[in-house]
Amino acid sequence: MDINSDTKLYCLIGHPISKSLSPYIHNFSFNKNNINAKYLAFEVDKYKLKDCISGIKALDIKGFNVTIPHKVDIINYLDDISEEAKLIGAVNTVKNVNGKLIGYNTDGLGFIKSLYDKKIDLEGKNVLILGSGGASRAISMMLAKEGVRKIHILNRTIDKAKKLINDIKKNFPKIEYSYSNLAEFNINNQQDIDIIINCTSVGMYPDENEIPLDIKFINQNTIVYDIIYKPLKTKFLKKAEEKGCLIINGLKMLIYQALISEEIWLNKKLDLENIVMALEKQDFLLKNRNY
């Protein structure tokens, strides 16, 4: 669609943003849905955040995404935040409603949607989460909200796993929790894991030969999810697939979190499944397969 005086601007702010796929995903979706809008990525470091928000308000930009390092600090500039953003303690999507900035978090929602897409029911499940960073926090909070039975978190830095568990427990006290050091994990006390989710960066390009957890801990009935999408099939997923596990990569979560942001900005339901299918065939995403 051509740019004209009615074209709306949406954007990403963060640092660094040069490798972001968000502009591709949003501009593709805007085009496909005949929405007169464009999406740009702006390099904004922590010193420029305040001015950036003033600029967004002055130009009446209707919505934007927030990435590293602003996902927590942005909350200081917002008028309100959604239930998910409150739970997670971080915001990745902001909507400008008549000058008031409302924060949302679509990372966890995108993850959950990608599981429901595969008809995976979460209620009563026993989940093992690797990592305790921002992505792990969003995902584990949403898993708790969806009614899993048990959450075990493994992390290299044990104190961070403990803190995350304590934060989830405050909101969801009925779930069974445990945590341990990633290097000291012992399968003996972790039978019957339904889903393992790698939320660490271990195995990500350019370190594709690394694996976050020894595959001997995984049985073939476990669903193995790696939120990494570069490469699309990490060594962890390859090994799990060889064992016969159902594997899921991070591409759908990435696309869904972006499209759910768009639904919030536009205040309308999009045909998510159709856009995802079309997007998955696009060159800019397929190129990831080369990594």
Binding-site entries for NADP(+): 83, 131-135, 155-160, 227, 250
- The CB-of-56 to ligand ATR minimum distance in angstroms stands at 23
- The CB-of-261 to ligand ATR minimum distance in angstroms stands at 17
| Catalytic-residue membership of 233 | no
Binding region for ligand ATR (CB under 6 A) out of 133-141, 146-154, 167-175, 279-287: 133-141
Find the binding residues for ligand ATR in span 136-155 (CB under 6 A). 136, 155
Q: Which of 23, 103, 108, 134 binds ligand ATR (CB under 6 A)?
A: 134
Coil/strand/helix, residue 2: coil
Number of residues that bind ligand ATR (CB under 6 A): 15
**Is cis: bond before 23, omega within 30 of 0?**
no
Residue 162 found at the interface with ligand ATR (CB under 6 A): no
* Residue list for the binding site for shikimate: 20-22, 67, 92, 107, 229, 257
Maximum pairwise Cα distance, the chain = 64
Coil/strand/helix, residue 276: helix
CA angle 83, 87, 88 (to 5 degrees): 120
Calpha distance 162→270 (Å, rounded): 38
- Annotated catalytic residue within 8, 46, 62, 71: 71
Amino acid at the residue 139: I
Residue 131 found at the interface with ligand ATR (CB under 6 A): yes
H or E segment to which residue 55 belongs? helix 49-59
Q: What is the dihedral of CA 226, 200, 149, 172, to 10 degrees?
A: -130
Residue 160 found at the interface with ligand ATR (CB under 6 A): yes
- The CB-of-193 to ligand ATR minimum distance in angstroms stands at 18
Nearest to 135 by CA among 92, 86, 104: 92
Catalytic residue positions, numbered: 71
**Which stretches of the chain bind ligand ATR, using CB under 6 A?**
131-136, 155-157, 160, 182, 199-202
